[in-house]
C-alpha cells in the first residue's frame, strides 16, 4: 500500500512581532492586573530557573 500522508513539524521564523491591541488594553483601578491583548498568540519554550 503506497504512503499517501506525511506528518512532520515545521518551525518558521516570525516576520513581524505580535502587536499590542491598544484599544482593548486596560488597567483595573486597584492595580491588581492589566488587560494586555496581543494580535496573536505569544508562546515560548524558555523556562525561568526556579530558585
**Residue 5 grid cell:** 500522508
> Which DSSP symbol is given to 29?
T
Angle among Cα 46, 47, 51 to the nearest 5 degrees reads: 150
Angle among Cα 48, 46, 9 to the nearest 5 degrees reads: 160
Question: What is the model's pLDDT at position 19?
Answer: 92
Question: What is the model's pLDDT at position 15?
Answer: 85
Tens digit of pLDDT for each residue in 17-38? 889 999 999 998 888 888 889 9
How many C-beta atoms surround the C-beta of residue 37 within 10 A? Answer: 13
Amino acid at each position: 500500500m503506497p504512503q499517501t500522508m506525511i506528518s512532520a513539524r515545521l518551525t518558521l521564523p516570525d516576520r513581524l512581532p505580535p502587536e499590542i491591541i491598544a484599544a482593548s488594553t486596560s488597567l483595573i483601578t486597584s492595580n491588581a492586573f492589566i488587560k494586555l491583548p496581543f494580535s496573536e498568540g505569544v508562546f515560548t519554550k524558555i523556562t525561568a530557573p526556579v530558585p
